[in-house]
Amino acid sequence: MTAVADFEPKIIGFLCNWCSYAGADKAGGMQETYPPNVRIIRVMCSGRVDPQFVLSAFEKGADGVIILACHPGDCHYKEGNCRALQRHGMLNMMLEQLGVEKERCRLDYVSAGEGEKFSRVIREIVESVRVLGPLLVASDHNAEILSTE
């Protein structure tokens, strides 16, 4: 396993357009740096995050995934974040069976105003995935299971 200190994890961040993506923009406006490891995929609603997107991210080389939603009660689409939460619970059970640590797939809430919280959550996920080390699925049969093709 790569030494923790040298390891730069690749993380996919699914951000909903209305709250967390705007929160990321807010963090940008504050011009405070945070680790560069998270590649952001914009979706209109966290309720659009299909578990197969997460599995696919792991299969294609991500070491971690973070889903950021509007706070409960604030969803632009009323309850998409609740769906995301339900699916995240289900995903965690599935990932556990595949031997993927649950810390690699986190769901959190960031509002459009929470630039600071966004940077903090990014720092936290990067650190927790860094500690876990790279996700080693590429060559074993998990890759086949993760593969949704």
Measured distance CA(11)–CA(126) in Å, rounded: 8
| Smaller CB separation from another protein, 88 or 132 | 88
Helix axes 80-97, 51-59, angle to 10 degrees: 40
* H or E, element range at 131: helix 115-132
Note the residues at the interface with another protein (CB under 8 A): 10, 12, 17, 21-22, 24-25, 27-29, 31-34, 36, 39-45, 47-50, 52-53, 56-57, 60-62, 76-80, 83, 87, 119
First to last CA, the chain: 28
* Residue 144 exposed, middle or buried by CB count within 10 Å (0-12, 13-18, 19+): exposed
In angstroms, give the least distance from the CB of 109 to another protein: 17
In angstroms, give the least distance from the CB of 18 to another protein: 9
| Smaller CB separation from another protein, 131 or 138 | 138
In angstroms, give the least distance from the CB of 33 to another protein: 4
